[in-house]
Amino acid sequence: MLKEKIELLNKFTEKFDYIISGVPFNNFEAKFTIKILNKYKELLKKEGVLSYFEYTGVSNINSVSKKINFHHIKNKKINKNIIEKKIIYNNFPPATILYIRF
């Protein structure tokens, strides 16, 4: 179902200043995660920001290979573009909010 919803993003022709995503990137195969991130990048204006969260210290990963692939993608595509990072301890479980500019 999420894959179908991601395909709906192709209908947007305008560019956005900001995208807030609740997509759990670490739960998907590497190729699908890259596809989502590339689509977000296409949809953002040049100085646009992507904001997404991940739960701190919690792993919903079904397999070790998914976890390794996500961390590889995160290191390659996300970490170098982080402009701000906040940890929200009042949330349970605590969440890390990342702000990214591609």
Torsion of CA 10, 14, 17, 22, to 10 degrees: -20
Q: Tens digits of per-residue pLDDT, 52-84?
A: 988 876 655 455 555 556 666 666 677 788 899
pLDDT at residue 78, as a whole number: 78
Which tokens in the block code for residue 21?
């995503």
CA 81/CA 100 separation, integer angstroms: 5
> Is residue 52, in this structure, part of any structural domain at all?
yes
pLDDT at residue 24, as a whole number: 79
pLDDT at residue 46, as a whole number: 92
> Is residue 3, in this structure, part of any structural domain at all?
no
> Is residue 35, in this structure, part of any structural domain at all?
yes
Locus of tokens 């190729």: 31
The structure's pTM equals 0.74
The CB density around residue 50, as the number of other CB atoms within 10 Å, is 22
Number of domains, the chain:
1
CA 11/CA 16 separation, integer angstroms: 13
